């Protein structure tokens, strides 16, 4: 068995050994996740799967049809438990089942793939007409996520390709990114961007000069997306087309939307998560079906399906005549599809997809001068190599001091799977890194501690946000210590973690007090939005249910967002409340040991940050002890100023 110790023994500067280690660690994660899925499928009841967002039950089958890509699809809807966030999204495999009156589950002998999903409706790509019929004829239908073999297979292939590369650009990039080979730069006259700040301008110019790799390190609120969009826009003045990827569909949607706003022609491979008309208009599917030649192609495909049912009937000569006609129609359909694809891809400036989807058949044989990977600090290294295979140089953007990739196997994470390609390049090639230093989100006092702890004190607040607040003489950051309140934490399962109901109730009480201080009418008029964060799913769900049941909070619900730290990545709110949950005599803080998650949590607030937690439990860790001291000093200074104001 591969262990952490084994990995340490094999540690080397050799890119080849490193990639072999990545293969082994990824295999550990694959086997763990596969076994976990099997266990969940066999042992977990339908109700628990629904609660975890893994399943829709009951589900209702709708119409089936052939989409613009000639795939047979079926619509699935559900009307119960719609408030639970599900994990269905484009490209993920699903399976269908029926549940009998006595609770027995019978799985159907095929898998499908999600083409589209929102809160209540899903479109699934089906393997054939027989599968569609079976789903449509089933009572008590359910649909659940299936184990994603495809993504793992694609990552293993990418690692193998990168390992075996010799004498080509991929081999050069491998040795630069992972080894001791130096990254090169071109000498170009610096371009001025008066609308960017100095670190952003430097970052864009470094991207333009890079021969091999450049990194845009964007701490919270520093305009990483703005900088990246500008870098892509300027690169397109020098290259006809670039590939833009990210780990998640949401991140791809975000950067794509910003590029479209700049007038860039984006072709989105894969359906967007943020579904609106604007987003759909630049998807490959929508562009394909809006092409002038598509009606002819659709008509041919319809004829082929009709002729297919006649090909087995009639005399030999009649059957041969049908087959001959079908062959001519197929040739014409293929020619039309090639022509449409050529025009769509040749006319696009940016091809946008997730890292895994960059392996899509539509991109076979295509190469790009530059690959941009957004949110690279959240992507597994193996996933990055999928896209890097298609590029001559790579630009990584993100923040390795925020959320890491999600690793389910503890041993694999400990062995180094959690450490991203971006983090490795930042460590080994500091010359290629541009740190964005001016942040436009947080009040200066909210920013100071994460700046000191995570970014060597290099961040500064832009003048327009430095002293921005909601109330005069309000303290921007506040810790409510529950040490004397005899609160209890409860463990509710591995997936949902821990809950502290008394702390949640106190949070809502403090929230109401703060709303009253601001004034309800002002909150509604100015749309002052409020985020409520906890590291634990159980605490999040409890808070959501309490808010839903509280009539006094009903007018403000549209301005509330309650989620885990992971769910808040990339977001910001005027006011943030954080429930830390943990309270025990042993000083055990578990999940809170991941300080990158806490960095995300405390940097979501624009003007007011309130933290609830038991100091006695948390102060055993240096980070929380220092954070508490920092906040206490701010509050002392605020009280001094108030006293001084009264005297004057």
pLDDT digits (tens, 9 = 90+) for 569-600: 889 999 999 999 999 988 888 889 999 999 99
Band (514; pLDDT cuts 50, 70, 90): very high
Share of the chain above pLDDT 90, in %: 73
Using the predicted structure, report yes or no on whether residue 391 has a pLDDT greater than 50: yes
Band (314; pLDDT cuts 50, 70, 90): low
The better pLDDT of the pair 36, 203 is held by 203
Using the predicted structure, report yes or no on whether residue 8 has a pLDDT greater than 60: no
Per-residue model confidence as pLDDT tens digits over 552-564: 999 999 999 999 9
pLDDT at 12: 57
Using the predicted structure, report yes or no on whether residue 2 has a pLDDT greater than 50: no
**Average pLDDT score over residue span 305-310:** 76
pTM: 0.89
- In sequence order, the 6+-apart residues with CB closer than 8 A to the CB of 356 are 91, 150, 151, 154, 155, 383, 386
The better pLDDT of the pair 631, 319 is held by 631
pLDDT at 312: 65
Band (7; pLDDT cuts 50, 70, 90): very low
Instruction: Copy the structure tokens of residue 570.
Output: 């990339």
Using the predicted structure, report yes or no on whether residue 81 has a pLDDT greater than 90: no
Which region among 233-247, 299-313, 390-404 has the lowest average model confidence (pLDDT)? 299-313
The better pLDDT of the pair 298, 11 is held by 298
Q: Please give the radius of gyration of the chain, using alpha carbons only, rounded to the nearest integer.
A: 27
**Average pLDDT score over residue span 337-352:** 95
pLDDT at 424: 96
Using the predicted structure, report yes or no on whether residue 488 has a pLDDT greater than 60: yes
Which region among 238-247, 303-312, 511-520, 567-576 has the lowest average model confidence (pLDDT)? 303-312
pLDDT at 102: 85
Answer left, alpha or beta for residue 106, where phi above 0 means left and psi between -120 and 50 means alpha. beta
pLDDT at 280: 82
Band (542; pLDDT cuts 50, 70, 90): very high
Average pLDDT, the chain: 91
Neighbour count for residue 118 (Cβ, 10 Å): 11
pLDDT at 76: 95
Band (64; pLDDT cuts 50, 70, 90): very high
Q: How far apart are CA 558 and CA 530, in angstroms?
A: 10
Using the predicted structure, report yes or no on whether residue 140 has a pLDDT greater than 70: yes
pLDDT at 276: 67
Under DSSP, the state recorded for 439 is: E
Per-residue model confidence as pLDDT tens digits over 163-220: 999 999 999 999 999 999 999 999 989 999 999 999 999 999 999 999 999 999 999 9
pLDDT at 1: 45
Which region among 67-76, 598-607, 611-620, 633-642 has the lowest average model confidence (pLDDT)? 633-642
Instruction: Copy the structure tokens of residue 87.
Output: 């994990």
Q: What are the contacts of 552-559 at 24+ separation with CB within 8 A? A: 552/512, 553/508, 553/511, 553/512, 555/520, 555/524, 556/515, 556/520, 556/523, 556/524, 556/530, 559/523, 559/524, 559/527, 559/528, 559/529, 559/530
Q: How far apart are CA 147 and CA 351, in angstroms?
A: 28
């Amino acid at each position: 068995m591969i262990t952490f110790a084994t990995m340490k023994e094999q540690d080397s500067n050799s890119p080849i050994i490193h990639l072999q280690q990545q293969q082994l660690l990824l295999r550990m994660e694959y086997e763990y996740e596969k076994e976990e899925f099997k266990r969940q499928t066999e042992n977990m009841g339908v109700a628990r799967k629904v609660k975890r967002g893994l399943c829709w039950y009951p589900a209702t089958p709708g119409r089936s049809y052939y989409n613009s890509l000639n795939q047979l699809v079926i619509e699935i809807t559900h009307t119960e438990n719609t408030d639970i966030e599900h994990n269905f999204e484009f490209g993920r495999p699903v399976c269908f089942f029926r549940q009998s009156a006595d609770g027995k589950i019978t799985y159907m002998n095929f898998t499908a793939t999600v083409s589209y999903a929102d809160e209540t409706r899903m479109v699934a790509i089906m393997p054939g007409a027989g599968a569609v019929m079976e789903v449509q004829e089933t009572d008590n239908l359910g649909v659940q996520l299936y184990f994603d073999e495809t993504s793992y297979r694609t990552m293993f292939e990418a690692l193998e390709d990168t390992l075996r590369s010799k004498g080509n650009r991929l081999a050069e990039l491998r040795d630069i990114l992972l080894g001791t080979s130096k990254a090169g730069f071109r000498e170009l006259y610096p371009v001025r961007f008066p609308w960017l700040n100095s670190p952003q301008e430097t970052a864009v110019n470094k991207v333009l000069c890079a021969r091999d790799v450049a990194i845009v390190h964007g701490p919270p609120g520093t305009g990483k997306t703005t900088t990246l969009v500008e870098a892509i826009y300027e690169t397109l003045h020098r290259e006809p087309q670039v590939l833009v990827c990210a780990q998640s569909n949401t991140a791809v949607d975000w950067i794509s939307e910003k590029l479209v706003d700049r007038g860039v022609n984006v072709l989105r491979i894969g359906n967007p998560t943020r579904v609106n008309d604007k987003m759909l208009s630049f998807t490959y599917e929508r562009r394909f079906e809006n092409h002038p030649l598509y009606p002819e192609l659709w008509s041919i495909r319809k004829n082929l399906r009709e002729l297919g049912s006649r090909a087995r009937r009639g005399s030999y000569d009649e059957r041969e005549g049908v087959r001959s006609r079908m062959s001519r129609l197929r040739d014409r359909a293929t020619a039309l599809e090639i022509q449409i694809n050529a025009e769509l891809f040749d006319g696009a400036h940016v091809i946008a997809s997730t890292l895994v989807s960059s392996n899509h058949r539509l991109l076979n044989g295509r190469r790009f001068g530059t690959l941009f990977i957004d949110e690279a600090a959240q992507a597994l290294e193996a996933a990055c190599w999928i896209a890097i295979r298609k590029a001559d140089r790579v630009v990584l953007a993100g923040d390795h001091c925020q959320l890491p990739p999600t690793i389910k196997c503890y041993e694999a994470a400990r062995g180094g799977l959690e450490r991203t390609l971006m983090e490795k390049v930042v460590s080994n090639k500091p010359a290629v890194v541009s740190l964005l230093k001016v942040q436009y989100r947080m009040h200066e006092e909210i920013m100071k501690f994460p700046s000191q702890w995570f970014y060597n004190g290099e961040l500064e607040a832009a003048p327009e946000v430095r002293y921005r607040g909601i109330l005069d003489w309000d303290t921007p950051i506040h810790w409510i210590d529950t040490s004397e309140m005899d609160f209890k934490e409860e463990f509710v399962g591995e997936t949902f973690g821990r809950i502290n109901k008394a702390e949640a109730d106190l949070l809502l009480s403090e929230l109401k007090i703060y709303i009253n201080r601001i004034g309800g009418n002002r909150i509604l008029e100015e749309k002052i939005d409020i985020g409520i964060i906890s590291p634990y799913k159980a605490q999040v769900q409890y808070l959501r249910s309490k808010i839903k049941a509280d009539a006094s909070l009903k007018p403000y619900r549209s301005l509330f967002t309650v989620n885990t730290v992971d769910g808040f990545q990339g977001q910001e709110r005027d006011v943030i409340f954080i429930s830390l949950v943990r309270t025990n005599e042993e000083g055990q803080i578990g999940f809170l040991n991941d300080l990158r998650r806490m960095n995300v949590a405390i940097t979501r607030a624009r003007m007011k940050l309130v933290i609830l937690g038991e100091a006695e439990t948390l102060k055993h860790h240096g980070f929380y002890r220092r954070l508490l001291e920092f906040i206490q000093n701010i509050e002392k200074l605020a009280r001094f100023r108030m006293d001084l104001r009264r005297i004057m």
